[in-house]
Amino acid sequence: MRYLTVSIFVCLSVQIYAFNSMIQWQGPCNFMDTINITGGYKNDNNSFIYQGVTYEYGTYGLYGYIIENQTEKINVPAHYRGCVCKYKPCLRVCCVEGLGLNGQHPSCIKTNTLQVYTQDNDETLIDIETHEYGLLINRPCGKMYELEPTDYTEDQWFFLKNGSILAASGVSDTNDYCFGQVYNSSDPDEILTKVLLCFHPSNDVRFSVYPIGMLFSIPFLIITFCVYAFIPELRNLHGKCLMCYVLSLTILYISLSAVQLDRENVLLETIQCAVFGFSIYICVLLCFFWLNVMCYDIWSTFRGGISRGRGGDSKRFMFYMMYAFGFPLTISTIVYIIDIYKLVPENLLPKIGIKRCWMQNERIVEAIYVYFPISIIMAINIVLYSITAYKIWRVQKETSVIRHGDSQKHSKLEADTDRFFLYLRLFIVMGATWSMESISWVFENNIIFYVSDFLNCVQGFIIFLLFVWKPKIKKLMVKRYRSIRKIPLTSQTGNSSRTETSRISSGVSNTKHVPIAEKPMLED
């Protein structure tokens, strides 16, 4: 008997658990498309009647939960809910029945009507109590943003007869919007109808893979910066310019990665979003202006007639900093002032941090503030590199004359030429990336976007290979390490150096009859 009682108790417990699970998770339709019909009654034919609507069997059911506070599921006693949208058009309000969203306080305000506009731009007053529409309650999603048609033309919305909302983003059904009521700030007695839309971050795979790819580049950029900061021989004019470029690129990649990896939690229209947006914009400009500085510097080197002493380099770097930091900050300040004081038509406003943590998604806006200035810089760089390449070609035609002359001048020519081709490779990588991104932007081609994104992701690694992963840099790092640790050179190294010096001296003294042009050039 005892075992039978235990068995019955276990069976009943299982049945109750199963039934509770069934009524909690199963239903004829999505909870968000149902209303509470507990106040109605059930007919003999298993239909359910509530507020004049007959819910046929299969269009209502028992639910063991409700959804409150936007998307929070709360277990409650089982109650009947009906799929009202199967019988009449539905609309959704953000607050509980009979109340509207209060924009000034976290509570709701009393309302029985909704003031909406149709596509004919006619003002229509919807009486909620007439039950012309099925009234769905609570927000359909956790993260929403408010449309502001009085401030932004693209936020203009219209109410459709089927209960949907038509806006610039397209048609939104009741699973994508809700109505809220707020007091008019200029007239406290007037209640305004607001529309809140669900925020849907892009599901494009590039927005998930791209920030991870940039994180791959960041360590290489940091290593490059640290190596050039660590070794005194590399902290010349060219090294300092490269460090500024790498630092700008690092901050850009960190900002982009932070925004895209956490795009679901970054709130729009906040200081945080605006700071990220302007950081990205400033760093984009900084990268291209420092690349322009390096192009100009190598061009001025081959132009000749410029002092390259220590004092001259320091003064020259100060001018470079004033240019490469000053112009981006000035442009960004102008953009900020235009944005804040609305100095241009609304469709030309940047709106950084409003709709996304970047500029508004308008092609004309991106063209004016991003693609136009950067295209000018890239065009100038192409001209400077073309002129420099021509000068190098012309000088190399006179190589034999130079070699018979000052060997020190020839060594300097080779060093400057190597640096030119080094910067040229960097320019080609960044120029190719920018060109493909511009083409994909103009023609809206995602395939080209993927290629440019890939180049952006590996750009830090490429810079590391070009400027750090070299035998000369490795030797300088070893030398710097020994200097810091105060490790003297070994006797073997000293003997080797003296022997090598003797061989070189001997070779030079025994080959007076050999023309200099026919001798092998020694590399550092």
DSSP 413-448: HHHHHHHHHHHHHHHHHHHHHHHHHHHHHHHT-HHH
- Would you state the CATH architecture of domain 206-266+284-336+370-400+409-485? Up-down Bundle (1.20)
pLDDT at 130: 76
- As a whole number of angstroms, the distance between CA 439 and CA 432 comes to 10
The winner for highest mean pLDDT among 83-87, 396-400, 404-408, 518-522 is 83-87
DSSP 371: I
* Position 340, amino acid: I
398: tokens are 């006179």
**In sequence order, which residues have a C-beta less than 8 Å from that of residue 4 and are 6 or more positions away?**
none
pLDDT at 22: 36
More confident position, 126 or 204: 126
Indicate the helix (H) or strand (E) that contains 286.
helix 271-303
Of 4-18, 286-300, 407-421, 461-475, the range with the lowest mean pLDDT is: 4-18
Give which of 353, 355, 441, 444 is closest to 169, Cα–Cα. Answer: 355
pTM: 0.61
Q: What is the pLDDT of residues 416-432, one digit of tens each?
A: 676 667 666 766 766 66
Of 16-30, 58-72, 266-280, 510-524, the range with the lowest mean pLDDT is: 510-524
Q: What is the pLDDT of residues 358-387, one digit of tens each?
A: 888 778 898 999 999 998 998 898 888 888
More confident position, 98 or 449: 449
Name the band, by pLDDT with cuts 50, 70 and 90, for residue 253: very high
pLDDT > 90 in the chain, percent: 22
CATH 2.30.160.11 is held by the domain 22-86: yes
Q: What is the DSSP string of 472-510?
A: HHHHHHHHHHHHHHTPPPPHHHHHHHHHHHHHHHHHHHT
More confident position, 401 or 256: 256
Contact 278, 332 (CB under 8 A): yes
- Give me the residue spans of the domains in the chain: 22-86, 90-198, 206-266+284-336+370-400+409-485
* Position 123, amino acid: E
Q: What is the pLDDT of residues 224-240, one digit of tens each?
A: 999 999 999 999 898 99
pLDDT at 266: 60
Q: Parallel, antiparallel, or unpaired for β 90-93 and 134-137?
A: parallel
pLDDT at 192: 79
- As a whole number of angstroms, the distance between CA 377 and CA 466 comes to 23
Contact 273, 353 (CB under 8 A): yes
The 10 Å Cβ neighbour count of residue 403 is: 18
Place of tokens 């030309």: 348
- As a whole number of angstroms, the distance between CA 469 and CA 472 comes to 9
More confident position, 23 or 313: 313
pLDDT at 353: 84
pLDDT > 70 in the chain, percent: 69
Place of tokens 């007076």: 512
- As a whole number of angstroms, the distance between CA 481 and CA 233 comes to 13
CATH fold of 90-198 reads: Methuselah ectodomain, domain 2 (2.170.180)
Q: What is the pLDDT of residues 144-199, one digit of tens each?
A: 788 888 877 778 899 998 899 998 878 888 888 988 877 776 776 777 788 988 87
pLDDT at 358: 87
- As a whole number of angstroms, the distance between CA 227 and CA 51 comes to 76
Contact 197, 144 (CB under 8 A): yes
* pLDDT over 90 at 325, yes or no: yes
* pLDDT over 90 at 402, yes or no: no
Name the band, by pLDDT with cuts 50, 70 and 90, for residue 217: very high
The 10 Å Cβ neighbour count of residue 466 is: 16
